[in-house]
Amino acid sequence: MKASSCHFVLSGDSDYKHLAKVFPDLLGFFLKETDQMPEDEEVLHMFIELNVSDLDRNVKPEGYNRKGRMRMIFPLDRKEFYIRSTSRPAEVARVGERISEMLSAAGIEHDVEQNTVNGVR
């Protein structure tokens, strides 16, 4: 089954501030795996710094919501973030699995939900 989005819902005691320590690696992995790595390294550092600054203050960060193959979005309605692709649904599950592994390795409690063509899985 192909996923159109993969949601990482923070659970237990996990909060935005807990993402700060893993976010630089997580965003770097996401951008590299989706072939969206900025050519200018300073741009990557800017994305990381702005997001980590918000995470350190325990507020919703921007994520990576640029026009491209895949986006990393932090919605307003609950403590989660998700990745979404409009063109490559098979890639969402693969990248989502690795992101979940990174979160688990960092001790961040979360639940994973995938939206598929047939609904939520």
Q: Identify the CATH number of the domain in which residue 108 sits.
A: 3.30.70.600
Domain span holding position 79: 3-120
**pTM of the predicted model, to two decimals?**
0.88
Query: For position 1, what pLDDT does the model report?
Result: 53
At residue 47's C-alpha, the angle toward residues 45 and 49, to 5°, is 65
Query: For position 117, what pLDDT does the model report?
Result: 55
Q: Which residue, among 50, 30, 53, 34, has the nearest Cα to 42 in the 3D structure?
A: 50
- Contact at 8 Å (CB) between 100 and 24? no
Residues 6 or more apart in contact with residue 72 via CB below 8 angstroms = 27, 30, 63, 64, 65, 81, 82, 83
Domain count of the fold of the chain: 1
Query: For position 65, what pLDDT does the model report?
Result: 84
Identity of the amino acid at 54: D
